[in-house]
Amino acid sequence: MKIMGLIGPSGTGKSHHALVVAYEQHLNCLLDDGLLIYHNRIIAGISAKEETNRMQAVRRAIFLDPVHRAQVRQAIEKIQPAGLLILGTSAHMVQRICENLQLPSPLSFISITDVSCAADIAEAQRLRKEEGKHIIPVPVLELRPHFRGYLLDPVRSWWQGRNGRKAVERSVVRPLFSYYGTLSFANTVPAELVRHCVQQLSFIAAVHKVHIDKRKHSERNGIMVTVQVSVYYGVEIKKRWSG
């Protein structure tokens, strides 16, 4: 089995270009973020994009879960693909995936910069950072049973293949671990955190008042915290706070 790696930092467009790279390299199977994709179909695996935090997503992507790993390994043995393209953020990550799935080491690696221009990479990073958009290299109809409740948008593009113009279908999702929308906190939240921390100090007798001032229009983007406290008699305040 011919194995190659497509590598590049997260959010640079690897999944977007994966199908074209696989076709041009005569690789009929993909491993992307925990999914085994064969002829535009999800054959086995669980997508890292279904996880609720980044740590679990990374563990899923490199097949650390024994049940997940065994399922994908069995599927590979069953279909016996002629070629496999593995997507990863680095050569080390791809090699780690091969080791976990008991696959041969990749014959070579292709960098995202070899198949995408700087402008396209920058746009992919913007979409990932600002809009939380991730690409999965399968059509929406194939992905829908796996991603219920997620935003699913189809992406269709054309490229000039060896046998003429060909269409590529992909899907856009917004996983929970990378897209939360806009978060805002009331002043009472940091105030209660400050109050709790100050009360833990052994020389503090009581916390009377905590005032939070958001410094939106100042040169320093942050908050000003004012705390009124009582300390036990005999405490050297200057020594305590400087130490």
Q: Determine, yes or no, domain membership for 112.
A: yes
Q: How many domains does the chain have?
A: 2
Give the residue from 139, 173, 207 where a domain finishes. 173
Is the whole-model pTM more than 0.75? Answer: no
pLDDT at residue 18 is higher than 70: yes
Rounded CA-CA distance 120/133 in Å is: 14
Find out whether 205 and 186 touch, Cβ atoms under 8 Å: no
Strand order in the sheet with 83-88: 41-45, 35-38, 29-32, 83-88, 2-7, 108-111
Give the residue from 143, 173, 203 where a domain finishes. 173
Model confidence pLDDT, tens digit, residues 113-138 = 999 999 999 988 888 887 777 888 88
pLDDT at residue 243 is higher than 60: no
Q: Determine, yes or no, domain membership for 178.
A: no
Residue 40 CB neighbour total at 10 angstroms: 14
Give the pLDDT mean for 207-219. 75
Question: What one-letter code names the amino acid at 10?
Answer: S
DSSP 3-state assignment of 8? Answer: coil
Residue 199's domain spans which residues?
188-242
**4 closest CA partner among 33, 34, 28:** 28
Find out whether 127 and 144 touch, Cβ atoms under 8 Å: no
Rounded CA-CA distance 226/30 in Å is: 56
Residues in Cβ contact with 164 at an 8 Å cutoff, skipping those fewer than 6 apart: none
